[in-house]
């Protein structure tokens, strides 16, 4: 193990840990915080790319049931050593390059982490699984956290993605996640690894990096900056509050059938335009003293993302029927909680939006100003919007 890896031994709890990858990212950190409340010890392996932020886990940093390991899932030696040392009862694999726009600019890192990294983990997990017996073996699970983007795009009337929908990924990100899903499937069928895949729709909630739609709109609106929306804003996504996703993963870990795929979604289809205007309305209400009210006047149309998928919608009935999971938040309650969280955590936003973030935003939005106009300037109802969240 490299010297720069911070390793604190788990003490306190005798319970068997889980190994989480990518636990310093958006969904992973929500999952780790939630798991530590009742689930037992966690070892979190994270490379801390621009998307990983140890601050997300500052509240548990001194919790003896939490151990952070700074490292790469592509490091076979490290992954093997962690499995041997901690003998986890499950690997919950979040680590990924996950930002679609970045995958268009630089796909290499996506192929490396999402494909090679998953392959490295699968190989090590198989070796570990083959080395254990009895209850340890019977209870072991490899849970691969994936996305609905592997299914491609839907027309407005098409039925939602279900677990048998053929894969048709359209972005380098989606293609790399599709590849990793296929690898997991092969490890189940060829080597008998007890793995399960979850494919989830767009998440939103606390700790989401402010490149993504909802936190970007909140951050920009609060500063009176333009709210850049891609294309005509009619791209539809199916939104799920992040803690509902975490509860789904926990449910699948507990009761999911090995070798199965479970779609996870909240049944909240919204166009990007609707999302942006709802965020603006919430800010109008929650920040009544804002001098940028009404915030929707800040909307500005920009050139669409190449190959931008038009619609995603998830059919989560298998998860509901078989495992009894249900989303607890509606889009309205979840979004209100989210906006309130960002308002209460301005220091977190300030921290993650310095330095490299500024450079990326400048690069991503340079040249997109395709005659974009603010809605107020045009004096009409907003008809365009569209930065997709992922």
Ligand X SMILES: NC(=O)c1ccc[n+]([C@@H]2O[C@H](COP(=O)([O-])OP(=O)(O)OC[C@H]3O[C@@H](n4cnc5c(N)ncnc54)[C@H](O)[C@@H]3O)[C@@H](O)[C@H]2O)c1
Binding site for ligand X (CB under 6 A): 21-22, 24-28, 45-49, 51-52, 72-74, 94-98, 113, 117, 145-147, 177, 200, 202-203, 209, 390
How far apart are CB 309 and ligand X at their closest, in Å?
13
C-alpha 301/C-alpha 81 separation (Å) is 50
CB of 95 or CB of 382, closer to ligand X: 95
Please give the Cα distance from 231 to 250 (Å, whole number): 37
Residue closer to ligand X by CB (options 75, 304) is 75
If the CB atoms of residues 13 and 328 are measured against ligand X, the closer one turns out to be 328
Least distance to ligand X from the beta carbon of 93, Å? 7
Q: How far is the C-alpha of 69 from the C-alpha of 386, rounded, in Å?
A: 37
Q: Minimum distance between the CB of residue 372 and ligand X, rounded to whole angstroms?
A: 25
Are 237 and 388 spatial neighbours (Cβ–Cβ below 8 Å)?
A: yes
β-bridge partners, 271: 236
3-class DSSP assignment, residue 320: helix
The C-alpha atoms of residue 196 and residue 237 are separated, in whole angstroms, by: 24
Task: Tell me which DSSP letter residue 298 carries.
Answer: G
From start to end of 280-343, where are the E strands? Answer: 299-302
User: Please, which residue, 274 or 382, has the CB nearer to ligand X?
Assistant: 274
Closest approach, Cβ 32 to ligand X, in A, equals: 10
Rounded-to-integer distance, Cα 212 and Cα 51, Å = 11
**Min separation Cβ 243 and ligand X, Å:** 13
Q: Across-strand partners of 270?
A: 237
Least CB distance from residue 242 to ligand X, whole Å?
Answer: 8
Report whether 92 contacts 118 (CB < 8 A).
no
How far apart (Å, rounded) are the C-alpha atoms in residues 76 and 78? Answer: 5
Q: Which residue in the shown chain puts its C-beta closest to ligand X?
A: 25
DSSP strand E in the chain: where?
18-21, 42-46, 66-70, 90-93, 141-147, 195-200, 202-204, 227-230, 236-241, 261-264, 269-271, 299-302
Tell me whether residue 148 is one of the annotated catalytic residues: yes
Residue 164 CB, shortest distance to ligand X, in Å, is 19
> DSSP label at 149?
G
Given the residues 46, 72, 75, 149, select the one marked as catalytic.
149
Between 58 and 376, CB nearer to ligand X: 58
Check 66, 129, 173, 230 and give the catalytic one: 173
| 191 belongs to the catalytic site | no
Tokens of 120: 């490295």
- Tokens standing for 194? 């007890």
Task: Say which of 46, 75, 97, 148 is annotated catalytic.
Answer: 148
β-pairing, 202-204 vs 236-241, is parallel
What pairs with residue 18 in β-bridges? 42, 90
- In degrees rounded to 5, what are phi and psi of residue 49? -75, -175
Contacts of 212 (CB under 8 A, 6+ apart): 26, 99, 204, 389, 390
> Cβ 295 to ligand X, closest distance in Å?
23
Query: In whole angstroms, how far apart are CA 1 and each of 55, 139, 287?
Result: 24, 27, 49
Instruction: For residue 181, indicate whether it is catalytic.
Output: no
Nearer to ligand X, 45 or 382 (CB): 45
Residue with smaller CB distance to ligand X, 94 or 342: 94
Is the Cβ of residue 111 or residue 226 nearer to ligand X in the bound state?
Answer: 111
Residues labelled as active-site residues? 148-149, 173
């Amino acid at each position: 193990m490299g010297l720069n890896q911070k390793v604190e031994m788990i003490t306190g709890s005798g319970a068997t840990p889980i190994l989480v990858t990518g636990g310093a990212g958006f969904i992973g950190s929500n999952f780790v915080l939630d798991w530590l409340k009742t689930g037992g010890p966690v070892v979190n392996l994270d490379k801390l790319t621009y998307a990983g932020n140890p601050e997300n886990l500052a509240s548990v940093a001194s919790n003896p049931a939490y151990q952070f390991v700074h490292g790469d899932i592509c490091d076979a030696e490290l992954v093997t050593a962690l499995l041997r040392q901690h003998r986890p009862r499950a690997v919950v694999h979040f680590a990924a390059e996950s930002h679609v726009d970045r995958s268009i600019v630089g796909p290499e890192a996506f192929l490396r982490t999402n494909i090679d990294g998953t392959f490295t983990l699968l190989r090590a997990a198989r070796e570990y699984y083959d080395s254990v017996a009895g209850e340890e073996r019977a209870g072991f699970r490899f849970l691969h956290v994936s996305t609905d983007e592997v299914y491609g795009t839907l027309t407005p009337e098409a039925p939602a993605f279900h677990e048998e929908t053929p894969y048709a990924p359209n972005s380098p990100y989606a293609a790399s996640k599709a590849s990793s899903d296929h690898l997991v499937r092969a490890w189940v069928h060829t080597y008998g690894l007890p793995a399960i895949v979850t494919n989830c729709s767009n998440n939103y909630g606390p700790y989401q990096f402010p490149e993504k739609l909802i936190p970007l709109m909140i951050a920009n609106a609060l500063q009176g900056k333009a709210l850049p929306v891609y294309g005509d804003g009619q791209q539809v996504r199916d939104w799920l509050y992040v803690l509902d996703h975490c509860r789904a993963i926990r449910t699948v870990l507990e009761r999911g059938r090995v070798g199965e795929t479970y779609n996870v979604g909240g049944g909240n289809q919204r166009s990007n335009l609707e999302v942006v205007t709802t965020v603006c309305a919430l800010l109008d209400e929650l920040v009544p003293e804002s001098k940028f009210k009404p915030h929707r006047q800040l909307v500005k149309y920009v050139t669409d993302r190449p190959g931008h998928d038009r619609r995603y919608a998830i059919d989560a009935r298998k998860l509901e029927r078989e495992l009894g999971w249900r989303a607890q938040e509606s889009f309205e309650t979840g979004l209100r909680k989210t906006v309130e969280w960002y308002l209460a955590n301005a220091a977190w936003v300030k921290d993650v939006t310095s330095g490299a973030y500024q450079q990326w935003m400048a690069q991503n939005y340079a040249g997109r100003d395709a005659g974009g106009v603010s809605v107020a300037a045009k004096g009409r109802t907003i008809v365009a919007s569209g930065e997709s969240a992922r």
